[in-house]
Each structure stands twice: as C-alpha cells, then as structure tokens.
Structure 1
Amino acid sequence: MDHMVLEVGLAIALIALAGLLSAKLRFSVIPFYILIGMAVGPHSFELWHLDFRFIQSTPLIEFMGRIGVLFLLFYLGLEFSVGRLVKSGKSIAVGGTIYIAINFTLGLVFGWASGFGLQETLVAAGITTISSSAIVAKVLVDLKRTANPETEMILGIIMFEDVFLAVYISILSGLVLSGSSSVGGVILSAVIALVFMLGLLIIGRKLVPWLNKVLDIRSNELFGLVIFATLFLIAGFSETIHVAEAIGALLIGLVLAETEHMKRIEKLILPFRDFFGAIFFFSFGLTIDPTTLGGAVWLSIAAVILTLIGNFAAGMLAGRTAGLSPKASINIGLTIVARGEFSIIMANIAKAGGLLPIIQPFAALYVLILAILGPLLTKETKAIYKGMNFILGKSKKKPEASS
C-alpha cells in the first residue's frame, strides 16, 4: 500500500513508453499496451533480481481500466446518434442474428472437435462468440471510421451481442455453477436487457429538449460533474440489471449525441477517453499469466482461424443484407474480430465451476492473439479488399484463357 502511488506512476510511464514505441513503428498501440501489462503483471517474473511486478496496485489499475471502457464506449456513442441507429433497426437485428448464429455454431463445433465435455464446449462457444466492445470502440475512433456507413451495423451488432450475453451468462452460470438453469430467469434477463436498452433510447430521445436546458451550464466544472454523474449512474445501473456497464455508457452517449451540447461533451471526454482507455489495455495485460499459455497454443490457433473465417463470413452476409458494399462488409467482419473482456468473463465462470484447467490459458492466449490481430487486420482492410479483388479477378480470367 505504501508504494501504490509509485506503482501507478510507473504503470503510466510504461504505458506512455509503449505508446511512443508503437508510434515510432507505426503499429497499432493496443498490442503494445497489453504486452507491457503482461511483462510487469503479478504473474511475471523477476528480471536481473529486480521485481517489476505490479501487485499492490493491480486492483486499482484494473478499476481504472473499467473506467476506460466506459469512456471509450461513451465517446463512441457521442460520435453517433439514436436517430442513425433507429433507421438501421431491421438490418441490425438481421445482421446481429447472422453474426451470433455463425460464430456461436463454430464455437460449438470447435468445443466438440477439441474433445471438451458439454459444459466446457458451451464455455468455449461463449469465449469465441462475443467481441470486445473496448477494442472495437478504440479501433473505430483511432481509424476515424465513426462516420462510415458500416459503423451503424458494427454498433448494432455490439448491442445485439450484449442481449445475447445477458441471456447466455444466465444459462451458463446456472449450468456450470449450480447445475441447473431456470427458463423463467433466462427469459426475464433477456426481457429486462431489451426493455432497458430500448427504453433508454426512446425516452432519452424524447427528453432531448429538456436535456438541452438542463445542460446549459456556464461553469465547466459543474458541467463536467453533471456529465460524469450521468455516465457513471447509467452505466452502474445497467450493470445491476445484468446489462454490461459498457453498453450503458454507449447508450447514454447515443442519447447525449442528440443534444446541442454534444461538441462540448466530446471535448470534455476526449482526454479521459485516451488516458483511461490506455490503462484498460494495460490492466488487461496484467491479468494474463504468460507461464500458463504454452499448453493452449494449438487450441488457441485453431480457435483464432475459426473466428477469422466466421467473422469474415458474418460480415459479408450482414453487410449484404444491409445493402452495403463488399468493402464495407469486410470492414464489419474484421473490425469486430477482436475478443477481450467478455471472453475472460466466460473463462472465469469455467474456473469458478471447476471445469478443465486448460480453459483459462486457452481463453487468455486466444484473446491476446485476437486483441493483437484484430486492430492490425482492421487497419489493413483496404489492402485485404484489393487482394481479394485481385485473386477473384485472376480466377475469373483463367477459364476464359483455357477456352
């Protein structure tokens, strides 16, 4: 406890160093934050008789990381609006269903092919199905794609996933932790999640004229306090009803994007988003134990390949149903390929239920690979699209040449 301030200071210095290195190499910054967290986390080792491990401050850094997720998703909501999302309601529902169906089915196939039991298979399917809201938000903002037409579908799929997550965690917890699951409880969780999300969007949109008056505050200090209070109260309340706190932050951002104070809120939030967002990825690295990853290498690589295939197919199908171009459809699939916080939650359920020990290192390595690969692939979607066109163009010309 005596050295907590020093540890947090060192953590911020290391995060800054990782950011400078990634900028120098012109690489996505997310993998650097995660890897530096792994290198100095509680599970790492002493280097040259010096202990760099963050032990006492880890809970505080992890909490600061949770705040980072809230700011990332809140800012993403501000960049959007309820109106844009409502217009795409039908295509989002179809796209979300396609995405979940493809990835969840592949997850079940993966679990079965790996020789897992029923409970482990269900956990593995959950781990491989749900995207990382934090990484998706960070990538969209960093690459300045919030105004892209496919971003509506990406945001919609994230929220669709959260409804699925609320239902699935209820089922999984019942099966793994207590041996049974109440059908009524599962249905109730799904209904509560849907009502809360839709209710907040609909009521929030109607309250925009009132919000414009309430937020007409001259003092920047008071204005900031009101915005922060709203963000944390809504996000905290959503968590109590089993809707991810990050989704609560996204929803309130979507509502406030409709107000005339949106630009002022955006300017206020921006430095907090960058600071706490970086800490989230660092704190994620702190949770990974590098010494346990070796035994899960082949399982993780197989799962990554299946996820890339599933996401690509889901993105293309979802984009086509929404009338988007092939390039935009590729963007959908690759932007939401990263896995993160929700996959780790699934692995923790397996640990609490006493399931196979391999689940934990598998989830950690799988998430780490996709957390690194996801942003890189998203950045290179243009090159991937051109490469596909080149390959398809050559394959079309071959039959003509032979005839």
Structure 2
Amino acid sequence: MNHIPHLIVDLALILGAAGITTILFKRLKQPLVLGYLLAGLLVGPNFPLFPSVVETESIQIWAEIGVIFLLFNLGLEFSFKKLVKVGSTAAISGLFEVSFMLLSGYTAGQLMGWSHLDSLFLGGIISISSTTIIIRAFEELGVKSQQFASVVMGILVIEDLVAVLLMVLLSTLAVSQQFEGIEMLASVAKLVFFLILWFLGGIFIFPSFIKSFRRYMNDETVMITSIALCFLMVTIATQAGFSAALGAFIMGSILAETTQAEKIEHLLKPVKDLFGAIFFVSVGMLIVPSLMVQYAVPLLILVVVVIVGKTLFASVGSLIAGQPLRSSIQAGLSLSQIGEFSFIIANLGIALRVTSDFLYPIAVGVSVITTFTTPYCIKAAVPLYEWIKERMPTKWYNFLNRYSNTTQTIRTHSHWNDVLKDYLQVIVLNSVVIIALLLLASRALLPLVQRRMPDPLLGGVLTSAMALLAMAPFLWALVFKRSHRSSYKALWIDRKFNRGPLLLLELLRVTLAVVFVSILLSTFFTVKMALVIAALIIIPSFALFYQKLQRFYNRIETRFIENLNAREQSQSTLTLPPWDAHLAFFQISADSPLIGQSLQELKLREKYGINVVLIERGSKRILLPKPTDRLFPSDRIEVIGTDSQLQRFKDLVEQRRVSEGNKYLGEESPIALEHIEIRGGHSFVGKNIRESQIRELTNGLVVGLEREGHRILNPESSEVIQAGDILWIAGHKKYIREVFQAS
C-alpha cells in the first residue's frame, strides 16, 4: 500500500474538522472564525478524544502563509489613500482609543503580576478590534447606512495601521529585551522611511507594469502575478529587517490602487479563505483548556477591560474629535471586541519565544467571549445614550452639542497652511527617494563597480556620477518645486515679516540638497572638499539643465499621479454633523417603485428630505442630475440625508443597502460636502440662493445653512444669504473652492 505523507493526513483532518464546525456555526449565525478555533481545539494535542495533528511544524508553516494572505487581503482593502480620506475624526478617535487600551492592557498585566513583555503584548492584543466581526454585525443589524458606521470604519483603518506598527515595535522590543527610547525611535523612523519608499516606488512601478501587460492577463495570470508580487515584497521586507506580514500588507495596499484591485481580491478570496482557515485552526490548536480554567479570573477581568475600556475610550475619542454624543457611544460599543490581529500579535509573541504559555489561550478566550457580546453591545448603544442623556446636566449636553458643531466647522485655510503643507510634502518625499538612491549606490552599486574596475578611485567616481544622475530630478524638486504659488505670492506681498520665514524655508531646501550630495561625495573626498564640490555641482547643473530636469521630474510625477488615481474607491466619509446628515450609496433594485420616474415626479426631497447628487449607470456618471433625469434598474445613486431619512428611503430603493466601504471599478466620486463661512465682503451677501447662482457656478447644491446657531436643512431657494452664514454645499470640491476663493 502506498505511503501517505503525514502532512496530507493532517490537512485532511484540519479541513474536515473546519468544514463541519463552520457549517454548524453558519447555521447558528455565528462568526466562522469561532468555528475554526473550535476545530483547532478538537484536532489539537490538548483534546485527546479526537485524532490529533502529527506534523505541527509543517502546519505552522502553512499557518504563516495564511498570515501572509490575510495581511495581503487586508492591504487590498486598506489602501494608503483610504488612510488619507478617513479624516481627523477617525484619526483622533482611533489613536486615542488604541493609546489608552495599550496603557490599560499593560497596567492590567502588571496588576496581575505578569512580566513586562507579557503585559506589553497584552496591551497590543486588546487594543485592536475585529474588522470581520464588526462588518458582519453591522450587516445583520442593518445599521451600515447610519452615520456612526462610517466613523467606526475609519477608526478600523487607523487600528489596522497601528497594528502593523505594533508588530514592528514589539518585535524590536522582544529582541532587545529592554526599552531603549532611542532604539525604538530609530525603529519607528526606519519603518516610516520604508513605508514611504515602498509606497512611492510601488505606485510608480507596479500599476504601470499591470497596465502594460493587461492585454495578456487572464484570471490565471492575474492571480499568479499578484501572488508573486506579494511574496516578492515579503522577501524584501524580511531582508530589510521587518516581518513577512508587513511586506504582504504593503504589497496589498500598493495593488489596491491599481485598476485590477477588485479582480485580484476576487481571485485570491478562495486562496485567502483556505490558508486563513488553516491559520485560525492552528490558533485553536494552541488553546489549552486547563490553562483557561486555571486563568478564568484574569480572562473574565480582561473581558471587562476590553468591553468597558474600548467603549469608554472610543466614545471619549469620538467626542474629542467632534462627533455627537449618540454617534460616539454607538461607535464605542461597536468596537468592544478583539479579533484577527490580536491572534497575529499573540502568535508573534510565541514565535519570538518571549511570552508565557497562558497568554495565547487567554487572548483567544477574550476574543470568543467579546465576539458573542458585540451584537448585544451595538443594540444597547441607543438605550445607553438615552439613559446618559436623561441623567446628564442640561448645560453639559448643550456644551457637547455646541462643541460638536463648532469643532467641525471648516474655516478657510490660511496661505501659511498651504505653503507649509506643500513644503513638508516636497521635502519629505524627495528626501526619502534621495536617501534610498544614496543607500543603493553605496551598498549595491559601488561594490559591483569596484569588482569590475581595478582602480577603486575611478570606480568611486563612476558610481558617484551615476548616483548623481539618478538623484538629479529629485534634487531639482527638493530645491525648486512649489505647488501653491498663489499662496506663496500672497504671503510674499502681504506682509514684510513673512519674507524672512519664506527665505529660511528656501535656504533649508538648498542646504538639504547640498548635504545629500556631500554625503555621496564624502566617500571619496574629505568632508570640507565634498561640501565645496557639492555646491559647485548643484549651482551650475541647475543653471544649465533646469528646464530638462523640470520636464523629466514632471513626467515622473505625472506617471505617479496617473497610477495613483487609476482606480479610486467610492467612499464618502464626510458628514454634515449639525444635522447628522451624510452621503450614502444605494442600488436601485429591479422591484423598486422608483424605476422609470423622473426625480421631479418622485419628489424625493419633499417626501423623504434627501437629495440625489449622483447617478451611476454602467460607465455613465450623471453628476447633480436634473429634475428630468429618470431612474432605471441597477442604477447606483448617491444621496445626502440624515440617518432617519436614509432609513425611510432604504426600503423603497433596495432590499440590502450597498456599503459605503464597497469598492467598484471607476473613478472616485467627485461629490463631496463643503461648508463655507460667508464673510462680510462676500459678493453673495444680500442675494437669495437662486440669485447667487451657486448651483450654476459650483455645479453643486446648497443642502444646509447655519445662522446664529439655528440650522436649516434643504433651505428654500428664496432664502437670503447673510454675512456670517455657513453654507453646506454638495458638489465638486474643486469647483466649490474655486468659486468661493475667487469671490
């Protein structure tokens, strides 16, 4: 009889147990992750009633591949541009909540007598919520169209990025076995440097590669190519001293900006599900029931810490960010669990052999319990809000309302904001590229050239010349590039004391360029000589080749921007806080009574209080549709309204609302919410909304008006605009800003 390798038998056992338990949990309407954990417990070495896995080391390798695919898929859903779009609300709330949960976890571990590393890993484990569990709970409870859901999704994006950073910092700390402030800062700086470099290089190279060979790519080649790129970045990341999971996450976030992102995500879903199942089963195999019984009290304590701590800190963070009290409480209770990333962080501690045996099963136990409690916490949010509102002093409640309104009122950006933001972006991005070229030249190119050339000095000069040639466009941008010329000019003309700081900024840019060239040349000359030569090279080179360098850099920048904008996500996270109104997408179902009728006939604004600002019909996009435009089956519409208005409108349009987080092929929705303060000298003062021609000038709709604390949703076109009014306009951001800056 032929011999079957133990690995095949183990896989049959693992996948068979996983299949049975997931069917059971699907029938019970529970998260499949819990089924995988149960399957791992049954086939693991700690449950002798069933056959156990033999080759645990081989299964652990498969589990590591599962982590790679999980992080790669998370990167595909993440995207660096999504991080930029989550806004200050999610950033403040997420960072506030994660910081205090890290502190709470560490404090709880210390109070229970655990070691410093166990306490630190515990803080990381309980600080990250579960995206999978939250999305599933939102779908089952039908709350994805409510405003707080978009806040939660933004916080989850921040948590994902923080989790990646935590993995790097905890790894560094575990290896050094001591807290070195300088070493930790160096690790963070190194991580930030490589993140920026990989993002810039990846966006410039890989989307162009996929675009060039798109005609030759069928489903099979797309899947194989994307997996190859994933493991390529995993290899690069590990060579740079980072984890394989970080490399997979980075490549996923890069490919998320390509036009093939949806296809890649769709094709890799079965692969991710397979290896992800093996990973979660391997997690369950590490559960020791006796340890969970032994540490039942710490487990229950940590469950309370997670539910109470996350609810409290996420709610307070949202309040600080300017969210209303109701939305803040709903967001806090939605985040009161831990999940996938917690397992990965706990698994990291085991792989590095720095955490105690009891920490892993405790983390799994906390995750299981908080997963079951999540739907009930979300349901309890509104009653808890009503209970707090009744017992809160009226002046406190009014203060929170005023704070929420005033915090999120957008004022006109100052010229200094534009200039400083532009300078920071130019200096940081170009400096990262220049430093990368310096490292490449000194560590890879120079040894290669010197092996082929007998004269080391000649080889060094040749290497320097090649490096300078590659660095030239970025040195030009570092010294000369300026995007906000109008703001710069306004500052230069406005006041004389602006000129000193502006000149210092210019001097800083030139100094950095000279320093970078000097670092390159100092390999072959003395430092003083290198500085002199660098100054002599930069000045005449820029004078002679200014136009060519500018054109070449512009081509590089254009290619990068084209790749970055090739595929945009249809996600609208801007909100209209004073009225709890926000943008949302809906799909017109085949049975909807709206089909065939014009917007004028439907009178959606009069009946439901909502405005239709975009209709997508196949590849056709109708921005701010006219009253005569009609709706047809499968149209995708973007509307603005409050939670209650959208909820009433939802049943009329579709059976299941399309998530604001869903992705689709096409460009980014240009519709955004802008709120502008009308100052005394504005040309619109004294005119009504119709006479101001705001719709015609901005291609937008006035959907709200705030005046002396009073708010008007969907104001009449006869409403006269007064000085001090705040207008809320749904339309194209660029056109709105151009009109109001010019007025």
Instruction: Give the TM-score normalised by the residue count of structure 1.
Output: 0.81
1:251 aligns with 2:254: no
Once the two structures are superposed, residues 329-377 of structure 1 have per-residue CA deviations (whole angstroms, 9 ceiling, x without a partner) of 226633556632212433665xx46x8xxx422x133212222134334
Question: What is the Cα deviation at residue 34 of structure 1?
Answer: 0.6
Farther off after superposition, 16-25 or 328-337: 328-337
Question: What is the Cα deviation at residue 20 of structure 1?
Answer: 0.4
Check the 8 A contact 2:71/2:249 in 1, yes or no.
yes
Aligned match for 1:59, one of 35, 57, 60: 57
Once the two structures are superposed, residues 286-307 of structure 1 have per-residue CA deviations (whole angstroms, 9 ceiling, x without a partner) of 1222233332221222122223
* Partner AA of 1:37 in structure 2: G
- Secondary structure of residue in 2 paired with 1:258: coil
Check the 8 A contact 1:312/1:333 in 2, yes or no.
yes
Partner of 1:384: 380
Q: What aligned pairs does 1:360-379 form with structure 2 within 5 A after superposition?
A: 360-361=357-358, 363-379=359-375
Q: What aligned pairs does 1:272-311 form with structure 2 within 5 A after superposition?
A: 272-311=271-310
* Partner AA of 1:259 in structure 2: T
- Secondary structure of residue in 2 paired with 1:157: helix
Unaligned runs of at least 5 residues, structure 2: 394-743
Check the 8 A contact 2:306/2:337 in 1, yes or no.
no
Partner of 2:124: 129
Check the 8 A contact 2:310/2:332 in 1, yes or no.
no
Unaligned runs of at least 5 residues, structure 1: 398-403
Check the 8 A contact 2:94/2:314 in 1, yes or no.
no
Partner of 2:195: 197
Question: What is the Cα deviation at residue 209 of structure 1?
Answer: 5.0
- Secondary structure of residue in 2 paired with 1:52: coil
Farther off after superposition, 155-164 or 371-380: 371-380
* Partner AA of 2:383 in structure 1: G
Once the two structures are superposed, residues 53-73 of structure 1 have per-residue CA deviations (whole angstroms, 9 ceiling, x without a partner) of 1122x2233222222233333
Once the two structures are superposed, residues 74-133 of structure 1 have per-residue CA deviations (whole angstroms, 9 ceiling, x without a partner) of 2233234322212337556544542342122212321332234xxx03422322333597
- Secondary structure of residue in 2 paired with 1:130: helix
Partner of 1:163: 165
Partner of 2:44: 41
- For 2:93 and 2:239, locate their aligned partners in 1 and report how far apart those are by CA, in whole Å: 28
Question: What is the Cα deviation at residue 38 of structure 1?
Answer: 1.2
Partner of 1:107: 105
Q: What aligned pairs does 1:60-99 form with structure 2 within 5 A after superposition?
A: 60-88=58-86, 94-99=92-97
Q: Classify 1:317/1:197 alpha carbon distance in 2 versus 1 (closer, same or farther; 3 Å).
A: farther
Question: What is the Cα deviation at residue 152 of structure 1?
Answer: 2.9
Question: What is the Cα deviation at residue 21 of structure 1?
Answer: 0.2
Q: Classify 1:95/1:204 alpha carbon distance in 2 versus 1 (closer, same or farther; 3 Å).
A: farther
Question: What is the Cα deviation at residue 33 of structure 1?
Answer: 1.1
- More strand as a share of residues: 2
Check the 8 A contact 2:346/2:363 in 1, yes or no.
yes
Check the 8 A contact 1:73/1:249 in 2, yes or no.
yes
Check the 8 A contact 2:303/2:369 in 1, yes or no.
no
- For 2:75 and 2:330, locate their aligned partners in 1 and report how far apart those are by CA, in whole Å: 20
* Partner AA of 1:24 in structure 2: R
Q: Classify 1:210/1:201 alpha carbon distance in 2 versus 1 (closer, same or farther; 3 Å).
A: same
Q: Classify 1:164/1:266 alpha carbon distance in 2 versus 1 (closer, same or farther; 3 Å).
A: closer
Check the 8 A contact 1:64/1:276 in 2, yes or no.
yes
- For 2:62 and 2:131, locate their aligned partners in 1 and report how far apart those are by CA, in whole Å: 17
- Higher relative contact order, chain-length normalized (CA < 8 Å, sep 6+): 1
Farther off after superposition, 324-333 or 368-377: 324-333
Check the 8 A contact 2:307/2:333 in 1, yes or no.
no
- For 2:314 and 2:221, locate their aligned partners in 1 and report how far apart those are by CA, in whole Å: 43
Check the 8 A contact 1:68/1:279 in 2, yes or no.
yes
Question: What is the Cα deviation at residue 212 of structure 1?
Answer: 4.1
* Partner AA of 1:13 in structure 2: G
Aligned match for 1:329, one of 331, 352, 356: 331
- For 2:93 and 2:389, locate their aligned partners in 1 and report how far apart those are by CA, in whole Å: 28
Check the 8 A contact 2:105/2:120 in 1, yes or no.
yes
Q: Classify 1:181/1:230 alpha carbon distance in 2 versus 1 (closer, same or farther; 3 Å).
A: same
Q: Classify 1:319/1:202 alpha carbon distance in 2 versus 1 (closer, same or farther; 3 Å).
A: farther
Larger radius of gyration: 2
Q: What aligned pairs does 1:142-153 form with structure 2 within 5 A after superposition?
A: 142=136, 148-153=150-155
**Percent of paired sites with the same residue:** 21
- For 1:287 and 1:54, locate their aligned partners in 2 and report how far apart those are by CA, in whole Å: 12
- For 1:98 and 1:342, locate their aligned partners in 2 and report how far apart those are by CA, in whole Å: 20
* Partner AA of 2:270 in structure 1: P
Once the two structures are superposed, residues 182-226 of structure 1 have per-residue CA deviations (whole angstroms, 9 ceiling, x without a partner) of 555433322222222233334434446514424513333322211
- For 1:249 and 1:89, locate their aligned partners in 2 and report how far apart those are by CA, in whole Å: 25
- For 1:323 and 1:204, locate their aligned partners in 2 and report how far apart those are by CA, in whole Å: 35
Once the two structures are superposed, residues 221-251 of structure 1 have per-residue CA deviations (whole angstroms, 9 ceiling, x without a partner) of 3222110011122234334445443343233
- For 2:345 and 2:199, locate their aligned partners in 1 and report how far apart those are by CA, in whole Å: 23
- For 2:36 and 2:332, locate their aligned partners in 1 and report how far apart those are by CA, in whole Å: 26
Q: Classify 1:304/1:67 alpha carbon distance in 2 versus 1 (closer, same or farther; 3 Å).
A: same
- More helix as a share of residues: 1
Instruction: Give the TM-score normalised by the residue count of structure 2.
Output: 0.46
Once the two structures are superposed, residues 154-182 of structure 1 have per-residue CA deviations (whole angstroms, 9 ceiling, x without a partner) of 1222212332342233234323xxxx565
Check the 8 A contact 2:234/2:245 in 1, yes or no.
yes
- For 2:106 and 2:15, locate their aligned partners in 1 and report how far apart those are by CA, in whole Å: 40
Question: What is the Cα deviation at residue 283 of structure 1?
Answer: 1.0
Q: Classify 1:316/1:237 alpha carbon distance in 2 versus 1 (closer, same or farther; 3 Å).
A: farther
- For 2:357 and 2:387, locate their aligned partners in 1 and report how far apart those are by CA, in whole Å: 39
- For 1:215 and 1:378, locate their aligned partners in 2 and report how far apart those are by CA, in whole Å: 45
Aligned match for 1:188, one of 186, 191, 206: 186
**Root-mean-square deviation over aligned CA pairs:** 3.3
Once the two structures are superposed, residues 305-333 of structure 1 have per-residue CA deviations (whole angstroms, 9 ceiling, x without a partner) of 22322222232234345555326622663
